């Protein structure tokens, strides 16, 4: 990080970070909407509320962790005003 | 048993504590020590007003009724926050760049500063928020009743009433102190942050007590969950998806959320922290909800209200302290929501309903009528009271019986109607104001008809016949089964149809109409905000008089800020003094500053009124130049350079003009000086000759001699002045520095300049108690000059001179304002030149060197003296450094 990089490389890095910022909520949405695929309550193998809670809170924690990383990689020095090359 | 009085006493103490917190924070911010008040942590905590009493009490009730479905309300905002880069970042950037004051302002400003759209969104917000405020009043009342088994003399309605009154007072005191919304409410935000911590800790404490104190550990709780009535995952897919979407939409659109997310945001970078910290807060708030619900269902007697488990479980186990703490947590959740919602709504009501009507009503407009600030502030205060009154009315009408979660969802659906217009405005170039207005109206109507009105129950607002069979028996218009779609949950049904029809009408309406030029300009600011620098736009250079603009700006922004704005704009244009040229850029800047106080539509309307027809002609021009505008978007860089060049050219031109002027002045000076010297010389010579002739009476001799003496004194004075001036101009002056009191110098100057008391001088001696290190004699010379000018030239009757003193950084600023007609614009630029005399009066033999000397003296003292326009009469402003500092070299 401390070594100067070429403009090309830097803008590529930046684009990757911005992509990460867009992908995180999408992945989060997919994981949160997984319960839609679960069998209904009157089926033979219903999902327990306890395991559903554990799943949802784990997904939630993972999203928060992802957002922490996002905040780190998008911190001001790297997200300075977009000035592609 | 805890008595009701104890609880009320506790609440009052708690509110006093919040007052103190808010007051201290406000004071720290005013003294510039408030940097920590604007930290990402405080920002994150302030977002927690999303978690109202609905979360604190209602989430447990929600979970007890429908299991994990309550999580949708927190997963939606989590998605918005972790995706902050996509939408929130842009909202905050626009909010700061355009000085947006509310969500109504955002929509109105994006679609060509439309007053109509601002009004629609405001009306929607007031109607949509009213049930929500009622919900908070209801929850405080319910929670008090828990402690009060023997019904007291005060009915629940009177408790709700006094809570509403108390909140109105708090909000008015801390919410309407500043007019400029961009100044932010540091006090309120700090109080909310404290409340955020109280409610989180309270809920966690109850949760921990339930899990480890009652159930005996996590394992037991999981077993209890699987044995409870909500053991199975039975959330309908439509509700899981629909409510998550709804809560995400409401998170962006609720007036109070917009207030803390966008308006109170002081730094875009705080979003990155809040992007993970706020979801973490939500997770912590939700963590113990299911355990509390399950244990409550297991242990509490059948039929007890699950909305109150947070209070009743600790009470049932004799934990009165914990219960009181939980009560405070619920009280915090309710009060913080109501305070911020009332601030946000009152800003919207005053900016988008009251002020536009008021401006239209006073046809003459902003330029003539009185102080606008007091009107706006008053209307905000009244709006706060009205909003809380409406909330109380809804509570009273609905009887306070509905489940908390149901009320909350109704409110959410109402405000979510703004979402299509907001997202379309941010990302879609072809969105038009007409499309947005129709979309909003359609969505709003569907919401009213299918959710809000039926929510009062059958036969209150809509007859049960209409609900069962549709109006006039038309089956496909049944409010809860539109177009024959039956079997859907009423909330999801309303969300689906209102948002779908709203978005559809918005898109079709936008495609069928074309944006006005003003909308096109705003579109470029909004859609392109992250990629482009700002460009000048809007108005042609007009005949607007800067002085009139200054007078208006002073009314809205207050004198100091307005003068600062005008002065720095003038400096930016390479001019001195307070009056910049009314260029397009300056008007744009002025409009944005005004928008920070009164909203963009109003600010635009005021300027348009002042500038006459010019705005219309800009629109015409723009319609022609529209194609060019498209290209201009991509050449902002070029434009910047050319602006730089223009500025340099302007400065060169100014310098050249100045040189020409100086050359003329030199010639004029020489001829002036010979004239000024010649006149007394001529009379001296003439009277000396007369004296030489014999036969004059002694009386005549004395008279002629005294004329000669007078004329030679005038000559001497003139030569003294000239000498003084040349010494000052060459900077060879010897300053006699000492420590002095400003008041003493002013006393001396007043005595010397106006010994006979012809002027009525208004001073505030207490403000003049300022210590200076300067040359007292020289400073007094300047004051004497200004005071005697007022005495000589002021044409007020009786003559009055106001001397105002105040600190400004390292300087002391002294204003001398008289009650005469002032100095015309053309003369303002020459009065500080040598031999400039505005009138032709030759009173007191002055040669017009006074102000020129003042200017040089002040330059030597390291200060300035300048003409201050827009004060009524002639006004001069002297700025003296508190400590004289020799300039290097």
Residue B474's pLDDT is 66
Residue B77's pLDDT is 92
Q: Between A8 and B216, name the one with better pLDDT.
A: B216
CB B232 within 8 A of CB B225: no
Q: Between A31 and B822, name the one with better pLDDT.
A: A31
Q: Between B672 and B40, name the one with better pLDDT.
A: B40
How many whole angstroms separate alpha carbon B770 and alpha carbon B786? 20
If you average pLDDT over each of A61-65, B447-451, B719-723, B731-735, which comes out highest?
A61-65
Q: Is residue B887 part of a domain?
A: no
In this structure, of B55-69, B85-99, B226-240, B430-444, the range with the lowest mean pLDDT score is B226-240
Q: Is residue B426 part of a domain?
A: yes
Q: Pick from B434, B446, B448, B440: which is nearest to B419 by CA?
A: B440
The reply to whether B548 and B658 lie within a common domain is no
Query: What is the DSSP track for B392-419?
Result: HHHHHHHTT-S-HHHHHHHHHHHHHTHH
The reply to whether B388 and B516 lie within a common domain is no
Q: Between B242 and B173, name the one with better pLDDT.
A: B242
Number of domains in chain B: 5
Cβ-Cβ contacts under 8 Å for B192 (sequence gap 6 or more): B45, B46, B48, B49, B260, B336, B339, B340
The reply to whether B8 and B121 lie within a common domain is yes
Could you tell me the residue range of the domain that residue B576 belongs to? 535-634
Q: What is the pLDDT of residues B351-383, one digit of tens each?
A: 888 877 777 776 554 444 456 677 777 888 888
Kindly indicate the confidence band of residue B338, based on its pLDDT and cuts at 50, 70 and 90: confident
Average pLDDT over chain B reads: 78
- From B604, B634, B664, the end of a domain falls on B634
The reply to whether B253 and B388 lie within a common domain is yes
Quick one: residue B650, left, alpha or beta (phi over 0 = left, psi -120 to 50 = alpha)? Answer: alpha
The reply to whether B698 and B774 lie within a common domain is no
Please answer yes or no on whether A52 and B287 come within 8 Å at the CB atom.
no
How many whole angstroms separate alpha carbon B776 and alpha carbon B751? 15
Chain B positions touching A40 (Cβ under 8 A) are 234
Residue B624's pLDDT is 41
Nearest by CB to B233, from A21, A24, A47: name it.
A47
Q: Please report, rounded to a whole number, the percentage of residues in chain B having pLDDT higher than 70.
A: 82
Q: Is residue A23 part of a domain?
A: yes
The reply to whether B172 and B185 lie within a common domain is yes
Residue B442's pLDDT is 92
Alpha-carbon gap: A2 to the closest alpha carbon of chain B (Å)? 22
| Statement: residue B543 has pLDDT above 60 | no
Alpha-carbon gap: B300 to the closest alpha carbon of chain A (Å)? 20
Q: Is residue B365 part of a domain?
A: yes
Please answer yes or no on whether A33 and B86 come within 8 Å at the CB atom.
no
Q: Pick from B519, B771, B77: which is nearest to A67 by CA?
A: B77
The reply to whether B174 and B322 lie within a common domain is yes
Nearest by CB to A70, from B68, B231, B275: name it.
B275
Q: Is residue A4 part of a domain?
A: no
Burial class (CB in 10 A: 0-12, 13-18, 19+), B518: buried
Phi first, then psi, for residue B771 (nearest 5°) are -95, 130
Number of domains in chain A: 1
Nearest by CB to A49, from B82, B233, B237: name it.
B233
How many whole angstroms separate alpha carbon B461 and alpha carbon B823? 66
In this structure, of B412-426, B632-646, B816-830, the range with the lowest mean pLDDT score is B632-646
Could you tell me the residue range of the domain that residue A57 belongs to? 9-38+46-73
Q: Pick from B695, B598, B689: which is nearest to B99 by CA?
A: B598
Q: Is residue A80 part of a domain?
A: no
The reply to whether B869 and B787 lie within a common domain is yes
The reply to whether B216 and B321 lie within a common domain is yes
- From B351, B384, B416, the end of a domain falls on B416
| Statement: residue B807 has pLDDT above 70 | yes
| Statement: residue B504 has pLDDT above 90 | yes
Residue of chain B whose alpha carbon sits nearest to that of A69 = B276
Please answer yes or no on whether A35 and B231 come within 8 Å at the CB atom.
no
Residue B28's pLDDT is 80
Q: Between B686 and B545, name the one with better pLDDT.
A: B686
CATH number at residue B244: 1.20.1730.10
- From B506, B529, B552, the end of a domain falls on B529
Phi first, then psi, for residue B801 (nearest 5°) are -135, 125
The reply to whether B875 and B780 lie within a common domain is yes
Residue B167's pLDDT is 78
CATH number at residue B802: 3.30.565.10
In this structure, of B319-328, B376-385, B427-436, B846-855, the range with the lowest mean pLDDT score is B846-855
Residue of chain B whose alpha carbon sits nearest to that of A57 = B283
The reply to whether B171 and B133 lie within a common domain is yes
- For residue B284, cis peptide bond before it (omega within 30 degrees of 0): no
Q: What is the pLDDT of residues B681-711, one digit of tens each?
A: 888 888 888 888 877 788 888 888 888 888 8
Residue B847's pLDDT is 59
The reply to whether B373 and B273 lie within a common domain is yes
Q: Is residue A55 part of a domain?
A: yes
| Statement: residue B726 has pLDDT above 90 | no
**If you average pLDDT over residues B37-51, what whole number do you get?**
85
Q: What is the pLDDT of residues A5-44, one digit of tens each?
A: 556 677 777 777 778 888 888 888 888 888 877 777 677 6
Residue B460's pLDDT is 63
In this structure, of B185-194, B228-237, B263-272, B798-807, the range with the lowest mean pLDDT score is B228-237
Chain B positions touching A34 (Cβ under 8 A) are none
| Statement: residue B536 has pLDDT above 50 | no
Residue B691's pLDDT is 83
């Amino acid at each position: 990080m401390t070594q100067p990089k070429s403009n090309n490389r830097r803008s590529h890095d930046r684009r990757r970070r911005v992509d990460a910022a867009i992908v995180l909520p999408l992945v989060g949405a997919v994981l949160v909407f997984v319960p839609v695929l679960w069998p209904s309550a009157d089926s033979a193998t219903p999902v327990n509320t306890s395991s559903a809670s554990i799943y949802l809170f784990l997904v939630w924690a993972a999203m928060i962790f992802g957002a922490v990383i996002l905040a780190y990689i998008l911190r001001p020095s790297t997200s300075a005003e977009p000035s592609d090359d | 048993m805890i008595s009701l009085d104890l609880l009320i006493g506790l609440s009052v103490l708690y509110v006093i504590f919040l007052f103190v917190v808010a007051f201290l924070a406000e004071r720290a911010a005013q003294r510039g020590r408030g940097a920590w008040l604007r930290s990402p942590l405080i920002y994150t905590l302030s977002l927690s007003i999303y978690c109202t009493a609905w979360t604190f009490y209602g989430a447990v009730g929600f979970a007890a009724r429908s299991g994990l479905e309550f999580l949708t309300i927190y997963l939606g905002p989590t998605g918005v926050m972790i995706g902050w880069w996509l939408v929130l970042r842009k909202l905050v950037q626009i909010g700061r760049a355009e000085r947006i004051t509310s969500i109504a302002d955002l929509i109105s400003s994006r679609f060509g500063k439309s007053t109509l759209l601002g009004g629609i969104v405001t009306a929607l917000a007031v109607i949509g928020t009213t049930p929500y405020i009622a919900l908070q009043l209801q929850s405080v009342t319910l929670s008090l009743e828990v402690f009060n088994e023997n019904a007291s003399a005060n009915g629940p309605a009177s408790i709700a009433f006094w809570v509403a009154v108390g909140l109105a007072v708090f909000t008015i005191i801390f919410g309407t102190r500043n007019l400029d919304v961009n100044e932010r409410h540091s006090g309120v935000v700090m109080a909310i942050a404290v409340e955020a911590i109280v409610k989180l800790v309270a809920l966690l404490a109850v949760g921990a007590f339930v899990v480890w104190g009652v159930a005996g550990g996590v394992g037991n709780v999981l077993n209890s969950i699987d044995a409870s009535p909500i053991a199975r995952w039975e959330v309908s897919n439509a509700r899981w998806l629909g409510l998550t979407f709804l809560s995400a939409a409401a998170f962006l659109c609720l007036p109070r959320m917009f207030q803390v997310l966008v308006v109170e945001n002081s730094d875009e970078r705080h979003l990155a922290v809040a992007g993970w910290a706020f979801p973490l807060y939500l997770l912590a708030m939700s963590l113990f909800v299911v355990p509390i619900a399950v244990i409550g269902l297991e242990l509490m007697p059948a039929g007890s209200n699950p909305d109150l488990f947070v209070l009743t479980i600790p009470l049932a186990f004799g934990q009165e302290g914990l219960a009181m703490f939980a009560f405070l947590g619920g009280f915090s959740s309710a009060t913080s929501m109501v305070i911020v919602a009332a601030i946000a709504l009152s800003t919207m009501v005053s900016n988008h309903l009251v002020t536009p009507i008021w401006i239209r009503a006073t046809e003459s407009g902003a330029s003539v009528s009185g102080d606008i600030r007091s009107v706006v502030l008053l209307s905000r205060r009244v709006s706060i009271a009205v909003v809380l009154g409406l909330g109380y009315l809804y509570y009273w009408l609905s009887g306070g019986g509905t489940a908390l979660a149901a009320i909350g969802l109704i409110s959410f659906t109402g405000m979510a109607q703004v979402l299509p217009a907001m997202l379309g405005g941010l990302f879609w170039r072809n969105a038009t104001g007409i499309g947005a207005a129709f979309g909003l109206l359609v969505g709003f109507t569907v919401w009213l008809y299918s959710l809000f009105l039926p929510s009062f129950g059958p036969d209150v607002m809509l007859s049960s016949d209409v609900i069962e069979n549709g109006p006039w028996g038309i089956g496909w218009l049944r409010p809860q089964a539109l177009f024959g779609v039956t079997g859907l949950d009423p909330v999801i049904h309303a969300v689906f149809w209102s948002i779908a029809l709203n978005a559809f009408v918005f898109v079709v309406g936008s495609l069928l109409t074309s944006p006005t030029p003003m909308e096109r300009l705003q579109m470029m600011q909004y859609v392109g905000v992250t990629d482009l620098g700002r460009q000048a736009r809007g108005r042609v250079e007009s005949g607007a008089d800067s002085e009139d603009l200054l007078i208006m700006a002073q009314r809205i922004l207050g004198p100091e800020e307005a003068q600062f704005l005008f002065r720095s704009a003038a400096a930016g244009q390479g001019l001195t003094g307070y009056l910049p040229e009314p260029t397009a850029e300056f008007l744009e800047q002025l409009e944005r500053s005004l928008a920070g106080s009164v909203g963009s539509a109003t600010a635009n309307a005021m300027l348009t009124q002042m500038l006459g027809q010019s705005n219309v002609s800009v629109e015409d021009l723009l319609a022609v130049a529209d194609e060019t505008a498209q290209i201009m978007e991509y050449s902002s860089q070029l434009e910047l350079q050319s602006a730089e060049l223009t500025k340099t050219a302007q400065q060169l031109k100014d310098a050249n003009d100045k040189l020409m002027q100086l050359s003329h002045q030199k010639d004029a000076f020489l001829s002036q000086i010979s004239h000024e010297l010649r006149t007394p010389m001529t009379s001296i010579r003439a009277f000396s000759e007369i004296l030489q002739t014999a036969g004059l009476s002694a009386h005549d001799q004395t008279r002629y001699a005294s004329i000669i003496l007078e004329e030679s004194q005038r000559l001497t004075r003139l030569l003294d002045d000239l000498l003084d001036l040349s010494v000052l101009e060459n900077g060879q002056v010897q300053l006699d520095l000492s420590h002095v009191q400003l008041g003493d110098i002013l006393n001396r100057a007043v005595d010397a300049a106006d010994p006979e008391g012809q002027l009525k001088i208004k001073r505030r001696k207490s403000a003049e108690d300022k210590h200076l290190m300067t040359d007292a004699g020289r400073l007094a010379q300047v004051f004497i000059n200004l005071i005697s000018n007022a005495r000589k030239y002021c044409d007020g009757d009786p003559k009055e001179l106001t001397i105002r003193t105040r600190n400004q950084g390292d300087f002391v600023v002294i204003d001398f304002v008289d009650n005469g007609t002032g100095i015309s614009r053309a003369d303002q630029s020459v009065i500080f030149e040598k031999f400039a005399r505005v009138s032709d009066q030759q009173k007191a033999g002055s040669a017009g060197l006074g102000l020129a000397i003042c200017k040089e003296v002040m330059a030597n003292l390291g200060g300035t003296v300048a003409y201050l326009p827009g004060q009524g009469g002639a006004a001069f402003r002297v700025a003296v450094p508190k400590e004289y500092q020799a300039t290097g070299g």
